[in-house]
Structure 1
């Protein structure tokens, strides 16, 4: 009888211990506040929302997130970002709708279409141009997308530049069994699918789209810092379901899973970005992100002296940008 009681007691302890482990393993992340992203002009004069890098500071390893559009341009009105330098970090351009063309001082060029991602490791430095496509300039059209800046660790800041231009059809999209949630996996993993884009450090970058009333929980490694940005619709963030609308962002607390729920009356599209923090000093001056002020000064000196190179046709791109700005003003947009 005593043995049976002991076994029963041990079983109860084991059940309690298992529940404790389960609760630790699935500790829910919440969001710290809900902040509306400020709007400002960037590049040649296009309007962006800046969820990260503005009112909310950097979220290590992420330096900045800009959401451009949605904007509908008439012929000749679209504005891009003519020739500008980068050093010390990575830019991730993700086109939701429309198309843009890029060129750089290393001779790389191409068109980014709807759904495409360009992961550019600037490293030691390039001069880069991001302009509306010829089609949008000629015919007008809608343009919307994101640019995320991912910091590089000190050991990688001066590596050779590299591009990963990935077309829409090569980027994995996973769907929940009920079909109510789709996840586009730019970096990291979700729903058993894994990104094709390589990253310098462990990073998660997901575009999660929920139908009205749908709920989705994503594993997020405990070592990651992160944020969630609502770029369309409305929903509830975290297990405490803080209300968030289009253009609002929240920083993730610690934990191992994060839950988002769409409002009953609307879709909810969110960007979930998380990664291992570098925990290094960050000194930023415009398009340069380094570890010390001395390195920033050197980057500026190298750019001014022409060491980062140049792109043929820069005068035409700046003239195109000025003409588009004047056309917008004349047409009252």
Structure 2
């Protein structure tokens, strides 16, 4: 799980030690993500399955894609499909993914890169491994997150952000036992490169075996920890967690993480949170709106070709 690493972690900016008055966020729930398949058949873990959407707001869906070692000819992606009313954030840890959309956006991402697509008023897109990876096979691992858009931005003009791993903000715990990669939003005064419509923070954090981290977190945000790999504990209660589990935390100032001392692999977590937008959600398939009638309109607009068209070279 390379993503973005550094030779000397102690050369990075250090996270501050928690203030004596800081409150560690308690654990509200721990759930295990069920396994399934997406697109043309690539394996995923549904990170938010069974969790009340009001606790996740403004996030609405997240998949851990892989981790899977494909044989030659096996890598799979999605077919062309529409979206409206939200944003997709695809973060690649291992492997390569190519994105194309009807608005002309797109690119190729690999370890540590992020593709941020704002569907807004509507767009068609496709995500698939490039042909050379299909032929060779290889390791594939990533995360796709859906971020809800506020009512006033539901029909925003679609846009695409290509965030390379070299742009993420890198932070170290005070003792060098943890590496924090800030993809979007602000963590302890350090800003990630992703541009967002609502205040959120996204980070991929690696905690070395036996190490612990007290991660400062905006007290007005909610906080969610998803375990990508390894095992350890979360919260002041030191609740045990392992790969494929999602932790929803309560209110407070810091997120407490610790990696198991009995394992040789680090604890890898995707930490996210944001300012809830507290709006009604009507969701069906690839559309996330505020009312059922708006969702039905999205289906009608898609069928009428009003969400864009597949570029001729892909039709």
For normalisation by structure 2, the TM-score amounts to 0.89
- How far apart in 1 are the matches of 2:301 and 2:36? 28
Alignment correspondent of 1:160: 157
SS at match of 2:79: strand
307-316 or 150-159, which deviates more: 307-316
State yes or no: 1:171 paired with 2:168.
Answer: yes
SS at match of 2:230: strand
Alignment correspondent of 2:253: 256
SS at match of 1:82: coil
25-34 or 201-210, which deviates more: 25-34
Q: Count the aligned residue pairs.
A: 293
- Say whether the 8 Å CA contact 1:38–1:55 is kept in structure 2: no
- How far apart in 1 are the matches of 2:292 and 2:313? 29
- How far apart in 1 are the matches of 2:40 and 2:189? 40
Deviations 1:284-332 (A, max 9, x none): 001100000010000000001111122236977xxxxxxxxxxxxxxxx
Once superposed, which parts of structure 1, at least 4 consecutive aligned residues long, lie more than 6 Å away? 313-316
Kindly report which structure 2 residues correspond to 1:105-144, keeping only aligned pairs within 5 A, or say none: 105-144=102-141
- How far apart in 1 are the matches of 2:60 and 2:146? 5
Q: Pick from 25, 43, 46 the counterpart of residue 42 of structure 2.
A: 46
Deviation at 1:55, TM superposition (A): 2.0
- Say whether the 8 Å CA contact 1:65–1:147 is kept in structure 2: yes
State yes or no: 1:147 paired with 2:144.
Answer: yes
- How far apart in 1 are the matches of 2:154 and 2:313? 26
Q: Pick from 209, 223, 227 the counterpart of residue 226 of structure 1.
A: 223
- How far apart in 2 are the matches of 1:136 and 1:203? 33
**Long gaps (5+) in structure 1:** 1-21, 317-333
- How far apart in 1 are the matches of 2:93 and 2:35? 19
- How far apart in 1 are the matches of 2:161 and 2:105? 11
Deviation at 1:189, TM superposition (A): 2.7
138-147 or 25-34, which deviates more: 25-34
SS at match of 2:51: coil
Deviation at 1:246, TM superposition (A): 0.6
- How far apart in 1 are the matches of 2:173 and 2:214? 10
CA RMSD of aligned residues (A): 1.6
State yes or no: 1:93 paired with 2:81.
Answer: no
Deviation at 1:221, TM superposition (A): 1.9
Alignment correspondent of 2:286: 287
**Long gaps (5+) in structure 2:** 1-18
- How far apart in 2 are the matches of 1:110 and 1:178? 37
For normalisation by structure 1, the TM-score amounts to 0.84
Deviation at 1:26, TM superposition (A): 1.3
Q: Which has the higher helix share?
A: 1
- How far apart in 2 are the matches of 1:222 and 1:271? 18
- How far apart in 1 are the matches of 2:90 and 2:314? 24
Alignment correspondent of 1:37: 33
Q: Pick from 35, 51, 58 the counterpart of residue 56 of structure 1.
A: 51
- Say whether the 8 Å CA contact 1:227–1:250 is kept in structure 2: yes
